[in-house]
Structure 1
Amino acid sequence: MTSITWPRPRLSGSAPRSVAYLVTGALLGLAVLLLGAVLVALSGLLVIVLIGIPLLAALTLSGIPLAALERRRLRLLNPTEAPSPTPHRIPETPGVPAWFRLRLREQATWRELAYTVLLALVLWPLDLLVVACAIALPALLIAAPAHLAIAGSGGIRPAKLWLVDSYPEATATALLGLAGLLVLLLPLGAYATARAAFTRLLLAPREAELAESLAEVTRSRARLVDAFEAERRRIERDLHDGAQQRLVALTMMLGLARLDAATGGPLEERLAVAYDEAGHVLTELRELIRGIHPQVLADYGLTAAVEDAADRSVVPVDMDGTGPPLPRLPEPVESAAYFVVREALANVGRHSGATRARIATAHAEGVLRVEVHDDGRGGADPGRGTGLTGLADRLAVLDGRLTLTSPPGGPTVLSVEIPCQAEAR
């Protein structure tokens, strides 16, 4: 429920902002009324030639730009307040048709259209009436001495209320108008606050819509991660079944050609060099394929893949084998945890100056926990391009959490927690 705070009656600060909010609202509502009447009439006339039909359809979305302007106009009451975010979602596919279909399905679109109609027919006359009663009427009374000086001896009737034909009466009328202005500032500010609360209620995002938007963002991130993982798998298969097999065949052909070449001749030497280079390229390609998605992870699970990464680390790594072996976990979980371990070990070898590292893994109470500990110099900062930021985003899609503790002087401890359940394969 939106609460209404009653402003203090004063001439500086909230009162001028309330007046500015209501006056601009009245002007905007009058403009919307005139423009809307013209467009509706024009659409009705053009329906007979079918041009008016799309114009009428476009009028159903006329509340969207007006609502965006109204959300920004709320800052007239509180300049320090950030503009309210839009309640509209981003279409999953680009293009005007997708955008139009999504907008027609959203409740926010119809609330904004209802607000547009209310502004044009009801709200702006109320705004103008409140400003006239709270500001214009006291202003006429305050100006009584000036009016009397202009009118002369005939006297005046301020706001058509009573006859004032002397300066003492004019002065008393001006004081009455000033007192009335100070008194009326309280309901004026209260109305402006209530008016803004009503606008915010209709046009600002609601909790359910924010939750839906957040859920949609989470689903979108999950789809991106799945697509990225599928693309990694495709590249790994193409390299394994295509380029690697061709390199193996090339290496075999070079080996056979060496056997046919004259012993000790220049041809044999060139073939030997080419054979060695092909072997090096094949080794690098196999390392690249293993880095994209190691076969040991797919075949034997996370424990075997982590042990394989530890064996290939440039820094000696101890495996914590006190707990039970890990069960097979969902494929995205195993892949994310494995690449976190690989990145952590790579950072240990490149930056930490550590002499030893330790990896501990455990799965209990539906949570996978992985910890990488090293005895290096510490001071690790994920913001300096260690690659952990991207992995943390990847873990967030799985509702996981990455924690890095690295005080200057060490030690550095990287912890990962991913909620998941074991599965049978």
Structure 2
Amino acid sequence: MHPRNVWRALSAPGYLLSAWPWRAVAYLVTGALAGAVTLVGLVVAVALGSVLAVVVVGLPILVLTALAGIPVARSERHRLRLVDRDPVPVRHRRQPPATGPWPWLTTRLRERATWRELGFALLFALLLWPVDALVVATALALPLATVATPLLMATVGDGEEAKVVKLWTVTTWPTAFGAAVLGLLLLALGAYALGLTAGARAALTRVLLGTPREADLDARVVELARSRVRLVDAFDAERRRIERDLHDGAQQRLVALTMTLGLARLDAPPGPLADQLAKAHGEAGRALEELRELIHGIHPKVLTDHGLAAAVDDAADRSAVPVDVRLVLPGRLPRAVEAAAYFVVCEALANVARHSGADRAEVTGGHGDGRLFLEVRDDGRGGAEAGAGSGLTGLADRVSVLDGRLSLSSPPGGPTLLRVEIPCEWTERFA
């Protein structure tokens, strides 16, 4: 099994004969070059921005300098693949509220990751790249110069003497070849030193530019919440599509069939055929009523066209228990909020009719402080539980997706009170 990073390669046999020492050299050399370029770019940008700040032109340059860590971090994540094949978890980036350079700029400047990456860019430009260059020079230059001692003695010293890295003089060939052997040993040790340095640099980069466990968990939670909202929106859109297809397709065909059977019944002479047509006409009428109830249960058209208040009034009119409605909503709310609130009210009224033994129910609510609040109250026997087959558990999950809360109070003997709160803002206000 091939090592995934230079750390594991160091402990594996055959490290010196593998590509990992060369990859470590490439990582450190490109790091030294990139760090020098970063230092020059930052110094030039800060100096130019400071000089031109008196004529306002320099202020945008200084602001853009604060974003210098973003390209540096992206480049470092790509360079990291030289010595570490495992992907670096990228920090979660917020989406700008609108398109255009200004929303993007303000969003980036408010993110902690932007300033963390700027700090890494400064560390990289001021400290890390000189260390990379020093290690490469020490681990390669000294051993290679020592290995080249016989060659230097034969060419530069005319076979009489050679200076090894200007530190000591070699005057005999045995000593020169001994220095070459020593250089090979130092080169092997240097290869390990380069691997250790590259591994340490890669680990530091991963820590500074990667996503901490807590931040990664927060990002996952945020993405999970967003995916749940998207699923709810997609589910509501699919319900509306099914309702529209049934209303405009199957229901219209069934209406036409009912009218055709009615006309045929009128034209048929009395007898068995007329009786069968009457029976078929009645069955078609009942099927039409059942289809209308099914369509209404999937997603009522009144909710789409006229909003939550009208839909709740319609649900109250169809309830088996008399319902008083006092719902003040002078506008439209987000579709997902209206759908969730409507189905909670419908399920609550169905429970009142089936289980409570109540003589009367009441639906009240409104919008205030950025929240929709609804209450469904009945004068029944009480003792209701949200998880005891009431159907409210799934609706509570749906409300929670919208950051809302659903609470149920139903002491034995009543009354039963169901309360829903969902944070939302108006999408349309009526005069």
Q: Same fold (TM over 0.5)?
A: yes
Aligned-residue CA RMSD (Å): 4.9
Report the CA distance between 1:205 and its aligned residue.
0.4
Residue equivalent to 1:208: 214
Decide whether aligned partners of structure 1 residues 395 and 85 sit closer, same or farther in structure 2, where only a CA change above 3 A counts: farther
Residues 135-144 or 9-18, more deviating: 9-18
Q: Deviations along 1:47-104, whole A, 9 cap, x unmatched? A: 23322212211111111121122122222113xx332121132326343444433332
- Identical-pair percentage: 31
Q: Deviations along 1:105-164, whole A, 9 cap, x unmatched? A: 332222211110111111111100001111111011111222222222453212102122
Decide whether aligned partners of structure 1 residues 5 and 277 sit closer, same or farther in structure 2, where only a CA change above 3 A counts: same
State the distance in 2 between where 1:162 and 1:173 align: 11
Q: Deviations along 1:155-202, whole A, 9 cap, x unmatched? A: 321210212234322211111111111223333322221111111111
2:282 corresponds to 1:290? no
Question: Where in structure 2 are the equivalents of 1:13-412 lying within 5 Å?
Answer: 13=18, 14-78=20-84, 81-91=85-95, 93-96=97-100, 97-151=102-156, 152-153=158-159, 155-225=161-231, 227=233, 284-292=291-299, 297=347, 299-300=349-350, 327=388, 331=392, 333-334=394-395
State the distance in 1 between where 2:215 and 2:352 align: 38
Which amino acid in 1 is paired with 2:188? L
Decide whether aligned partners of structure 1 residues 168 and 421 sit closer, same or farther in structure 2, where only a CA change above 3 A counts: farther
State the distance in 2 between where 1:333 and 1:421 align: 13
State the distance in 2 between where 1:333 and 1:112 align: 43
Decide whether aligned partners of structure 1 residues 335 and 262 sit closer, same or farther in structure 2, where only a CA change above 3 A counts: farther
State the distance in 2 between where 1:210 and 1:144 align: 54
Which amino acid in 2 is paired with 1:88? H
Q: Secondary structure at the match of 1:193?
A: helix
Decide whether aligned partners of structure 1 residues 235 and 294 sit closer, same or farther in structure 2, where only a CA change above 3 A counts: farther
Which amino acid in 1 is paired with 2:26? A
State the distance in 2 between where 1:227 and 1:39 align: 46
Report the CA distance between 1:10 and its aligned residue.
3.7
Which amino acid in 2 is paired with 1:7? L
Question: Number of residue pairs matched?
Answer: 318
Q: Deviations along 1:204-259, whole A, 9 cap, x unmatched? A: 10011112101211232343355556768888999999999999999999999999
Q: Secondary structure at the match of 2:67?
A: coil
State the distance in 2 between where 1:331 and 1:423 align: 13
State the distance in 2 between where 1:169 and 1:302 align: 103
Q: Which runs of 4+ in 1 moved over 6 A?
A: 229-259, 261-264, 272-282, 293-296, 394-398, 420-423
Q: Secondary structure at the match of 1:7?
A: helix
Report the CA distance between 1:276 and its aligned residue.
11
**Matched-pair contact (CA < 8 Å) for 1:27–1:124:** yes
Residue equivalent to 2:365: none
Residue equivalent to 1:413: none
State the distance in 2 between where 1:325 and 1:43 align: 63
State the distance in 2 between where 1:299 and 1:28 align: 68
Decide whether aligned partners of structure 1 residues 99 and 86 sit closer, same or farther in structure 2, where only a CA change above 3 A counts: farther
Decide whether aligned partners of structure 1 residues 227 and 168 sit closer, same or farther in structure 2, where only a CA change above 3 A counts: same
Which runs of 5 or more residues in structure 1 are unaligned? 265-271, 305-323, 337-393, 399-419
Q: Secondary structure at the match of 1:157?
A: strand
Which amino acid in 2 is paired with 1:171? F
Q: Normalising by the residue count of structure 2, what TM-score does the alignment of the two structures yield?
A: 0.58
Which amino acid in 2 is paired with 1:299? L
Which runs of 5 or more residues in structure 2 are unaligned? 1-6, 270-277, 300-342, 355-384, 411-417, 419-431
Which amino acid in 2 is paired with 1:333? G
Q: Normalising by the residue count of structure 1, what TM-score does the alignment of the two structures yield?
A: 0.59
State the distance in 1 between where 2:22 and 2:351 align: 68
**Matched-pair contact (CA < 8 Å) for 1:301–1:328:** no
State the distance in 2 between where 1:168 and 1:201 align: 49
Report the CA distance between 1:396 and its aligned residue.
12
Report the CA distance between 1:38 and its aligned residue.
2.2
**Matched-pair contact (CA < 8 Å) for 1:141–1:159:** yes
**Matched-pair contact (CA < 8 Å) for 1:303–1:326:** no
Residue equivalent to 1:7: 10
State the distance in 1 between where 2:210 and 2:400 align: 27
Report the CA distance between 1:290 and its aligned residue.
2.6
Decide whether aligned partners of structure 1 residues 198 and 423 sit closer, same or farther in structure 2, where only a CA change above 3 A counts: farther
